[in-house]
Structure 1
């Protein structure tokens, strides 16, 4: 990071994957023993090792014990769900292929392949980058921050649309905050039968809530100084009636 302005900054794939592991509450596990949906059962070590708590009689535990050591034997799937109600709430999916070992009351899962799918497409994440990356510092608070912005400050969301290209707002029926990370805020623009996302990068990354507050204040100040395309659209519509 630095102090230079970077209007294209987005989280890297490895950081995005680690953020999902740190914040998603559930995962699906497919192994020789079948498929199991686990809720609140995983934790993540600093190097990306995933630890799962499963019942002693779980088929996953049996599969882990019986599988050849070090050979890919299972796939973990995580879904990143937007905390604010929007159309198509799945923001990304993450797949980890790898193998289990039994460690005390846990199953330790070591990934041999990491694939992240976002709206832009699928990315294979390099294992060394995955191990070295950490979650976005705002990830633990993202759900609370977005929900508060949508519920308590819809006027601020409306004001931020002044920074959006008017063409992107054509026929918009609703705008909601979709995501926030240290690099910027993403808005989802919904239409009757479609939607699109608009990224609003911060002038410099935010590493904590205090810095995020300052970055949002800068965006809102810029928005206040801009014309309001949605208001102009409403005015034209009123005149045409």
Structure 2
């Protein structure tokens, strides 16, 4: 399975929602909290671009190292409509300073020196140390995941339904009676996770591991072919 640090780095690169919170500052407008870009440097520090007039940017302009604490909060939502759609929440905490000269007019780049992180997702809740966060890499499929899941859902519904044959007796009976809906929920280099639903309240997740971790889209195509072939037998 992907490590907690890898999962956090993947969320940071691809999650649809992020907000920078600075304890002690008055509540800001949403556009002041949402970085227009975010990246991770070689030392594991975050680089976040915000409006230069935002309260966080103004406070960071006067801060020294380890003086202004801040937290970047991340929320990940499944790209396919499914009950209980939030897949993950994470936060990265540390200290905020400005980085001159990296942004255009009206914008400021802030550096969040990473102290620790925490992720709560489909795998569970775990803490992530600064060194582990620095050394981890995002999942190689992360940039394509949303598009791939949407394609699976829209164009391969019948093949997804065949996965019910791999879930055991009770699920197979309900699949045969057309009472189950199988929706692709998450995808990474290790496997595919689906949400199996009878109705909005009766759902469970199932995960199908690939024979080996995939490195790219070509490897993913082979792994998905093998999975669907096994389900069709």
Same-fold call, TM > 0.5?
A: yes
* Mapped contact 1:25–1:40 kept (Cα < 8 A): no
Between the aligned partners of 1:28 and 1:167, the Cα distance in structure 2 is 42
* Mapped contact 2:68–2:97 kept (Cα < 8 A): no
Displacement, 1:143? 0.6
Matches within 5 A, 1:80-229: 80-104=76-100, 105-168=108-171, 173-192=180-199, 193-225=201-233
Segments of 5+ residues of structure 2 without an aligned counterpart are 101-107
Give the stretch that moved more between structures: 101-110 or 41-50.
Answer: 41-50
Between the aligned partners of 2:185 and 2:95, the Cα distance in structure 1 is 34
Displacement, 1:126? 2.0
Between the aligned partners of 1:38 and 1:55, the Cα distance in structure 2 is 9
Between the aligned partners of 1:165 and 1:215, the Cα distance in structure 2 is 21
TM-score by length of 1: 0.83
RMSD: 1.9
Displacement, 1:63? 2.2
* Mapped contact 2:17–2:76 kept (Cα < 8 A): no
Displacement, 1:116? 0.4
Between the aligned partners of 2:226 and 2:133, the Cα distance in structure 1 is 32
Give the stretch that moved more between structures: 135-144 or 186-195.
Answer: 186-195
Q: Secondary structure at the match of 2:33?
A: strand
Between the aligned partners of 2:36 and 2:8, the Cα distance in structure 1 is 18
Between the aligned partners of 1:11 and 1:107, the Cα distance in structure 2 is 29
TM-score by length of 2: 0.86
* Mapped contact 1:64–1:102 kept (Cα < 8 A): yes
